[in-house]
């Protein structure tokens, strides 16, 4: 048995992706069309494992990444998972980002050309996967957008690093700041994709491009990919660790709570309410204010400044600053 033995595609027990291999091609499909092919932590694990297998399989010359159905390629991370998991335990987002980085590193370092088959909406982290691929063929009804500043996040998992390289600084800033969708014709003009075709011709266009790549020397192709990745790798490696830590801490603040809760509740986030709170001397970083109050009745400490009642005993609060409640230690540390 060889050390780097690939497996048959059918042998993988994948739930959230479809993995297929035939005729020198590996096809990896995010299979969550009911939620526009957004990805969960499990999706990232499965993608990582499929990419590793494709890297080790010498019968695979080209990888095609796509989404199930015709509505969406990939719309980034599952905001419902963010809202239910990482707003509760921000430290777990650091672990999640570890999976995200592993998945992207495996994709960029797969040693073979990867084609993004863009069959529908590309949003947020979906565009980061698009940009991590080497080439892209886009259906003419599809759009591409970033969404970080709309939902309380920062697109620092590839978009802030790679968009300026691919489309230029001003266009990158416009996409990242406004979160407006870019149509297929504009995406082609800006260099986000290589081809735009009608949806009915998408598979033929992808296969035609893939077969051109099959008929090239594999080792030369692998090192060409590595060399062309240089600037993307520099930008990624210099910043993604910082992004991982900052985003994890950011999940404990008001902006992601408001943005992701609003998304789940299908309402518009209160962007201006947060701005007004800051402009009028209020609290724009906390849901209920900083943890500055203590209860004069039971001695509970660290109560948010916006609370009117103690969450421990239920008594009305007199807005006694922390450190002045009954039972608080004196300056010598004695009761």
Q: Is residue 332 domain-resident?
A: no
Does one domain contain both 282 and 170?
Answer: no
Does one domain contain both 161 and 225?
Answer: yes
Asked if residue 335 has pLDDT above 70, the reply is: no
What CATH number is given to the structural domain containing 193?
3.90.226.10
pLDDT digits (tens, 9 = 90+) for 119-173: 999 999 999 999 999 999 999 999 999 999 999 999 999 999 999 999 999 999 9
CA-nearest of 62, 50, 57, 59 to 17 is 50
Q: In this structure, are residues 139 and 119 in contact, taking their beta carbons and an 8 Å threshold?
A: yes
Q: Considering the entire predicted model, what is its pTM?
A: 0.92
Asked if residue 333 has pLDDT above 50, the reply is: no
Residue 53 lies in domain: 9-250
Asked if residue 112 has pLDDT above 50, the reply is: yes
Asked if residue 331 has pLDDT above 50, the reply is: no
Which residue did the predictor score with more confidence, 332 or 142?
A: 142
Give the separation between CA 88 and CA 102, rounded to whole angstroms: 24
Q: Is residue 123 domain-resident?
A: yes
Q: Which of 250, 266, 288 corresponds to the end of one domain?
A: 250
Q: Which of 250, 268, 302 corresponds to the end of one domain?
A: 250
pLDDT digits (tens, 9 = 90+) for 183-237: 999 999 999 999 999 999 999 999 999 999 999 999 999 999 999 999 999 999 9
Q: In this structure, are residues 302 and 291 in contact, taking their beta carbons and an 8 Å threshold?
A: yes
H or E element in which residue 64 lies: strand 62-67
Question: What percent of the chain lies above the pLDDT cut of 70?
Answer: 95
pLDDT for position 330: 33
Does one domain contain both 284 and 297?
Answer: yes
pLDDT grade, residue 2 (50/70/90)?
A: confident
pLDDT for position 5: 87
Q: Is residue 297 domain-resident?
A: yes
Does one domain contain both 279 and 212?
Answer: no
Q: In this structure, are residues 296 and 306 in contact, taking their beta carbons and an 8 Å threshold?
A: no
Q: Is residue 43 domain-resident?
A: yes
Does one domain contain both 231 and 281?
Answer: no
Does one domain contain both 171 and 103?
Answer: yes
pLDDT digits (tens, 9 = 90+) for 229-271: 999 999 999 999 999 999 999 999 999 999 999 999 999 999 9
Task: For the chain, give the mean pLDDT.
Answer: 94
pLDDT grade, residue 326 (50/70/90)?
A: very low
pLDDT for position 323: 45
Give the separation between CA 198 and CA 140, rounded to whole angstroms: 5
Does one domain contain both 235 and 306?
Answer: no
Q: Which of 221, 250, 279 corresponds to the end of one domain?
A: 250
Handedness of CA 295, 301, 306, 310 (dihedral sign): negative
pLDDT for position 329: 35
Average pLDDT over residues 4-32: 96
The CA R_g of the chain, rounded to the nearest whole Å, is: 24
Does one domain contain both 49 and 92?
Answer: yes
Q: Is residue 278 domain-resident?
A: yes
Q: Is residue 176 domain-resident?
A: yes
Q: In this structure, are residues 71 and 36 in contact, taking their beta carbons and an 8 Å threshold?
A: yes
pLDDT grade, residue 318 (50/70/90)?
A: confident
Does one domain contain both 157 and 292?
Answer: no
Does one domain contain both 37 and 104?
Answer: yes
Tokens 């594999």, residue?
218
Does one domain contain both 57 and 104?
Answer: yes
pLDDT digits (tens, 9 = 90+) for 24-41: 999 999 999 999 999 999
Domain total of the chain: 2
Does one domain contain both 239 and 263?
Answer: no
Question: What percent of the chain lies above the pLDDT cut of 90?
Answer: 93
Q: Is residue 241 domain-resident?
A: yes
Q: Is residue 333 domain-resident?
A: no
Asked if residue 328 has pLDDT above 70, the reply is: no
pLDDT digits (tens, 9 = 90+) for 73-99: 999 999 999 999 999 999 999 999 999
């Amino acid at each position: 048995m060889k050390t780097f033995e690939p497996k048959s595609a059918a042998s993988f027990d994948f739930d959230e992706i479809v993995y297929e291999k035939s005729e020198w091609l590996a096809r990896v499909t995010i299979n969550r069309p009911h939620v526009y092919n957004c990805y969960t932590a499990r999706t990232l694990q499965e993608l990582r494992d499929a990419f590793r297998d494709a890297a080790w399989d010498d019968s695979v010359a080209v990888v095609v990444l796509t989404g199930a159905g015709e509505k969406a390629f990939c719309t980034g991370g599952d905001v419902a998972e963010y809202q239910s998991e990482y707003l509760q335990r921000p430290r777990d987002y650091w672990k999640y980002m570890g999976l995200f980085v592993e998945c992207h590193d495996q994709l960029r370092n797969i040693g073979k050309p990867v084609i993004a088959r863009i069959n529908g909406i590309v949003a947020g982290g979906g565009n980061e996967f698009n940009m991590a691929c080497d080439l892209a063929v886009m259906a003419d009804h599809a759009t591409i957008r970033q969404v970080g500043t709309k939902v309380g996040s920062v697109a620092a998992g590839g978009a802030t690093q790679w968009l300026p390289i691919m489309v230029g600084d001003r266009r990158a800033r416009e996409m990242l700041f406004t979160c407006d969708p870019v149509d297929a014709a504009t995406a082609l003009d800006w260099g986000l994709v290589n081809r735009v075709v009608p949806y009915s011709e998408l598979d033929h266009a992808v296969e035609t491009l893939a077969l051109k790549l099959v008929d090239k020397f594999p080792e030369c192709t692998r090192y060409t990919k590595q060399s062309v990745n240089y600037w993307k790798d520099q930008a990624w490696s210099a910043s993604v660790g910082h992004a991982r830590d900052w985003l994890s801490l950011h999940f404990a603040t008001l902006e992601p709570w408001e943005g992701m809760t609003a998304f789940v509740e299908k309402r518009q986030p209160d962007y201006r309410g947060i701005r007004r709170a800051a402009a009028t001397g209020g609290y724009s970083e906390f849901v209920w204010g900083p943890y500055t109050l203590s209860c004069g009745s039971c001695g509970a400490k660290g109560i948010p400044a916006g609370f009117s009642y103690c969450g421990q005993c239920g008594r009305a609060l007199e807005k006694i600053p922390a450190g002045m409640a009954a039972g608080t230690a004196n300056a010598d540390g004695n009761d």
